[in-house]
Structure 1
Amino acid sequence: MAPTLQQAYLRRWWMACTAVLENLFFSAVLLGWTSLLLMLKNEGFYSYLCQDENATSEHAQNASAAPHEWPTCKDQDEMLNLGFTIGCFLLSSTMLPLGILMDKYGPRPLRLLGSFCFAASCAMMALAGYNPPVLAPLIFLVLSLNGFGGICLTFTSLTLPNLFGNLRSTFIALMIGSYASSAVTFPVVKLIYDAGVSFVAIMLAWSGLACLIFLNCLINWPKESFPAPEEPNYIKLSGLSLDQKVTGDQFDNHVITVGQRLSQRRASLDQGKEFYQPTEDPQQETPPDQVIPFCHSVCSPIFLWSLVTMGMSQLRLIFYMAAMNKMLEFQVTGGEEHGSKELKEKAESIVSFYSSIFGVLQLLCLFSCPFIGYVMDWRIKECVDGPIDKYADGSIGENSTQKPKKLRDKKIQKLTNAIRAFFFTNLLLVGFGITCMIHSLPLQFLTFILHTLVRGFIHSACGGLYAAVTLHFLMCHFG
């Protein structure tokens, strides 16, 4: 039986911690495709496409990992990469329909479906590992289910930060950081594989862990969508009434919060311009004239310009990921197409080393993304809802004798924080564009760090912006 929103609110820290781990190990793991490709080739997937005259063997390089010496070739790489392309396509293209479904049915059913698909993909990959030459075509279905299940887990976790109020942007950044860092999962699995653990055993264990996600969602995730901090449902959920004894600073903060809410209600009743939904009836719907149409949100300048910024940044980052090995090779060989054998071996060794460093640095997203979320949440707790003129007299209570400190409008503070976040992110992007063009191999370590930071920051900044600017983006349009 699904828990209520009140029960989910009490379990929000458990749900957030498990969601971070689930995103890290089960979401966009396909981004670590290079390591999975090596394991699939070692297991002999599509090895029958290789002819003896143009086939090579990687058995010498991975003798401890592969029990058989399977031939490898270009045709095999192309077939496996086709499966990866389909999986990545589903990882991205299904976001819009998933968003529509999540807006209508909530995150719970999609998360259950995503965990089931991921568990099924790992189980089918283990099945194919028993007889790779025969069952190799299953890899297309496996990678498709893997990509679809992963994006379901990521997308549904983005509404969970609503339960953390003024720390919402920080937790959105943490969720996105764990998603971006999931590219390190397959390199870690590759290390376990190289240590001698069989491919089938790894995939069966991974499938079992994915079943735990299904169980966790079944027990802890409610049927209803998580309300935003601006919604009356959240006000009741977080308990603004004095249900229990509070003293000291807790009491002062509580009185200030209640006073702000009462001031908003009084002003809205006097002016007749704002709609206030009482907390006693959270099920009451907002009047139709107060609901912002979806097309109005999509056509707003804030969304369109953020879309342009995101598109350009993503194109730049993905292009670098695709061309990185060739760019590093060019710096070693100087562009010589027919260099000596020693130079080619040196280039392969250096490119392999730098690629490994780049893969490990993907974990940096998990630790760096909360920083941009902290920027988005800067001083939000000190702000109030609505114009600050209502609180300028400092009389939240009738017996108040001293004026409070200067208050800020929450909407203005959120927009200011978003400007800072986007400015800092694009500054890093410019720095990345400069360092990647400089002909210096040691400098590429800085390029890797900047690339990783920007990849996490740009998603977090956009997610925090959409969550902050409630004037244009209602929670009913979040998906």
Structure 2
Amino acid sequence: MPGLETSLVARRCLTFATGLVECLCFAGAVFGWASLVFVLKQEGYFSSLCVNATGVNSTQVLDCSRQDEQFSLVFTIASFMNNFLTLPNGFLFDRFGTTAARLFGIFLYTTGTLMVAFSTPVLPSLLFPALSLLAVGGILFLMTNMQVGNLFGSRRSTIITLYNGAFDSSSALFLVIKLLYESGVSLRASFLFLSACSGVHLLRTFFLLPRNFIPYPLPDRYTYGLTCSKSETVSSEVAANGNAQTAIEEAPLNKDVPVKQVKSFRECLLSRFFAWHLLWLSVMQLRHYLFIGTLNPMLQRLTAGESSLVSQYTNAFAITQLCGVLCAPWNGLIMDRHKGKPRPAGESEQEADLRASVLSLFLTALQCLLFSVCASTPYLPLQYLTFILQVLNRSFLYGGNAAFISVAFPSCHFGKLYGFILALSAVFSLLQYPCFALVKGPLNGDPLYVNVGLTLLTLLAFIHPLSIYLHCRRVSSQRAKSKAISASSQSL
């Protein structure tokens, strides 16, 4: 039925496009924190914590280090909640499906935007729950959209990484709010508009996404979402083929593939793949979180407090975040480069996917090392390069994380494993606040030693791609030996 096929293709393309817009414009807004901090400081949030102090040559200066600490704490808690609560959200997604998870995410996100809208300099404590709710709601948008990659089989990893790149680029949303604020639009008006956009999220939930999951591999003529003609479509398919199974709809991820023994969730958690991948993600994520959370104080220090320069570099940082959606697909293409090519005899699709992931994991670790070195160098113009490396590495990091989990472990555990690894890495990322307090306290504002320590810590990320490479070599060697033994036995 050409008409049905055309309709399915159109719906899948619309699902992909609207999901990309949703991730790009909303999901990761909390990571544009540096732009929002600039606005909040202008509004006077936590300004009561600024005190007069004696500076160089006995001059009077305004010491706002305690104000910076509060803003850093807001972001630390929000980034922790963003990852840690992904664990229960993953179980929610795997147990109740897409619709339930998205409705919960929309509720959290809308509540967060309303709390920011109605916060004031007199009541700045509302920022703590508000940013956390924005973060948790946003990660649910991303989690429920990544399954769209299953609709495009040979480009599955590319779609997943593209959505993660869009998630990173959405941090530019707060830049837009900053520019609107400088043009006279109030902070409250901007966040009330974001709250009103929840209606669009609801429409996507019911009309362009499945109630449960998008299976992989995809069944023939798979349909999803509400449509007034759904019953007619199904009926015509049954009549034409005499079998209702050709109208498969919304089957769980693990029911549309041949029945085979898969690893349990516990076995996945205790595997070496999971342990090294957790270390790979945690050390690089900590570097990124500390950089974002301390960007404003760092710029204040490097520009000697010149507000126009701080604003200029803050805008530059936020603009580079828009490039995340352009950088992320490169990682997906690296992971999908073997698709469509003949595999070595006896090699499974999962083994081929793992072999293709080694280069992606290695490049991500290398990018983070270069980014950390640049971020540790106290030279203001160099920060433009730091911003570029940061957005490139961040898009590779989170896109590669989701893509690796999808190829290395059974798809029926994706939500739980994705949530679990982000939750554990979130605990590790809590070190960012002690690092910030260490710089502000005993180190007297000099971050050199902390930056050097974090740069050395990122070297641990290279263990993961090395372990995958050695695993692939070992499997390949075992396959060659088995083939040789089989050939020799046949010759005898």
Provide TM-score, normalisation by structure 2.
0.67
**Structure 1 Cα separation of the partners of residues 67 and 379 of structure 2:** 34
- Relative to structure 1, the CA distance from residue 139 to residue 351 in structure 2 (aligned partners, 3 Å threshold; closer, same or farther) is closer
Shift of residue 237, structure 1, vs aligned partner: 4.3
Alignment of 1:34-433 (within 5 A): 34-45=34-45, 49=48, 54=52, 78-79=69-70, 81-128=72-119, 133=122, 136-229=124-217, 234-237=218-221, 290-324=261-295, 344=304, 350-383=309-342, 388=345, 410-433=349-372
* Other-structure match for 2:457: none
Shift of residue 215, structure 1, vs aligned partner: 2.2
**Structure 2 Cα separation of the partners of residues 418 and 442 of structure 1:** 34
**Structure 2 Cα separation of the partners of residues 312 and 434 of structure 1:** 14
Q: Could you tell which deviates more after superposition, 19-28 or 189-198?
A: 19-28
Shift of residue 433, structure 1, vs aligned partner: 3.8
Shift of residue 463, structure 1, vs aligned partner: 1.7
* Other-structure match for 1:449: 388
- Relative to structure 1, the CA distance from residue 447 to residue 468 in structure 2 (aligned partners, 3 Å threshold; closer, same or farther) is same
Shift of residue 167, structure 1, vs aligned partner: 0.6
Preserved CA contact (<8 Å) 1:119 1:211? no
**Structure 1 Cα separation of the partners of residues 263 and 348 of structure 2:** 22
Task: Tell me the amino acid that sits aligned with residue 110 of structure 2.
Answer: A
**Structure 2 Cα separation of the partners of residues 102 and 424 of structure 1:** 31
- Relative to structure 1, the CA distance from residue 110 to residue 309 in structure 2 (aligned partners, 3 Å threshold; closer, same or farther) is same
**Structure 2 Cα separation of the partners of residues 122 and 465 of structure 1:** 32
- Relative to structure 1, the CA distance from residue 15 to residue 416 in structure 2 (aligned partners, 3 Å threshold; closer, same or farther) is same
Preserved CA contact (<8 Å) 1:383 1:409? no
Task: Tell me the amino acid that sits aligned with residue 397 of structure 2.
Answer: I
Shift of residue 180, structure 1, vs aligned partner: 1.2
Q: Which of the numbers 457, 466, 477 marks the counterpart of 2:405?
A: 466
* Other-structure match for 1:475: 412
- Relative to structure 1, the CA distance from residue 224 to residue 187 in structure 2 (aligned partners, 3 Å threshold; closer, same or farther) is same
Q: Could you tell which deviates more after superposition, 317-326 or 458-467?
A: 317-326
**Structure 1 Cα separation of the partners of residues 256 and 20 of structure 2:** 33
Shift of residue 90, structure 1, vs aligned partner: 1.9
**Structure 1 Cα separation of the partners of residues 118 and 132 of structure 2:** 16
Q: Could you tell which deviates more after superposition, 300-309 or 322-331?
A: 322-331
**Structure 2 Cα separation of the partners of residues 301 and 450 of structure 1:** 29
Preserved CA contact (<8 Å) 1:119 1:207? yes
- Relative to structure 1, the CA distance from residue 445 to residue 208 in structure 2 (aligned partners, 3 Å threshold; closer, same or farther) is same
**Structure 2 Cα separation of the partners of residues 314 and 161 of structure 1:** 24
After superposition, the CA RMSD in angstroms is 3.5
Task: Tell me the amino acid that sits aligned with residue 81 of structure 2.
Answer: L
Shift of residue 146, structure 1, vs aligned partner: 1.8
Question: What SS class does the counterpart of residue 108 from structure 2 fall into?
Answer: helix
Provide TM-score, normalisation by structure 1.
0.69
- Relative to structure 1, the CA distance from residue 388 to residue 288 in structure 2 (aligned partners, 3 Å threshold; closer, same or farther) is closer
Shift of residue 299, structure 1, vs aligned partner: 1.8
Question: What SS class does the counterpart of residue 444 from structure 1 fall into?
Answer: helix
* Other-structure match for 2:468: none
- Relative to structure 1, the CA distance from residue 116 to residue 410 in structure 2 (aligned partners, 3 Å threshold; closer, same or farther) is same
Shift of residue 324, structure 1, vs aligned partner: 4.9
- Relative to structure 1, the CA distance from residue 103 to residue 184 in structure 2 (aligned partners, 3 Å threshold; closer, same or farther) is same
Largest Rg, 1 or 2: 1
**Structure 1 Cα separation of the partners of residues 247 and 181 of structure 2:** 57
Question: What SS class does the counterpart of residue 263 from structure 2 fall into?
Answer: coil
Question: What SS class does the counterpart of residue 220 from structure 2 fall into?
Answer: helix
Shift of residue 45, structure 1, vs aligned partner: 4.5
* Other-structure match for 2:489: none
Greater fraction of residues in helix: 2
* Other-structure match for 1:244: none
Task: Tell me the amino acid that sits aligned with residue 362 of structure 1.
Answer: Q
Task: Tell me the amino acid that sits aligned with residue 163 of structure 1.
Answer: L
- Relative to structure 1, the CA distance from residue 300 to residue 446 in structure 2 (aligned partners, 3 Å threshold; closer, same or farther) is same
Structure 2, unaligned stretches of length 5 or more? Answer: 1-5, 54-61, 224-244, 417-492
Task: Tell me the amino acid that sits aligned with residue 376 of structure 1.
Answer: M
Task: Tell me the amino acid that sits aligned with residue 14 of structure 1.
Answer: L
Task: Tell me the amino acid that sits aligned with residue 12 of structure 1.
Answer: R
Shift of residue 432, structure 1, vs aligned partner: 2.8
Task: Tell me the amino acid that sits aligned with residue 182 of structure 1.
Answer: S
Shift of residue 372, structure 1, vs aligned partner: 0.6
Task: Tell me the amino acid that sits aligned with residue 307 of structure 1.
Answer: L
**Structure 2 Cα separation of the partners of residues 326 and 200 of structure 1:** 25
Task: Tell me the amino acid that sits aligned with residue 155 of structure 2.
Answer: L
**Structure 2 Cα separation of the partners of residues 179 and 352 of structure 1:** 23
Task: Tell me the amino acid that sits aligned with residue 105 of structure 1.
Answer: F
Structure 1, unaligned stretches of length 5 or more? Answer: 1-5, 56-70, 240-277, 333-343, 390-407
Task: Tell me the amino acid that sits aligned with residue 131 of structure 2.
Answer: L
Shift of residue 279, structure 1, vs aligned partner: 8.0
Q: How many residues align?
A: 378
- Relative to structure 1, the CA distance from residue 8 to residue 43 in structure 2 (aligned partners, 3 Å threshold; closer, same or farther) is farther
**Structure 1 Cα separation of the partners of residues 297 and 49 of structure 2:** 25
**Structure 2 Cα separation of the partners of residues 167 and 305 of structure 1:** 26
Question: What SS class does the counterpart of residue 219 from structure 2 fall into?
Answer: helix
Shift of residue 79, structure 1, vs aligned partner: 4.9
Shift of residue 287, structure 1, vs aligned partner: 9.7
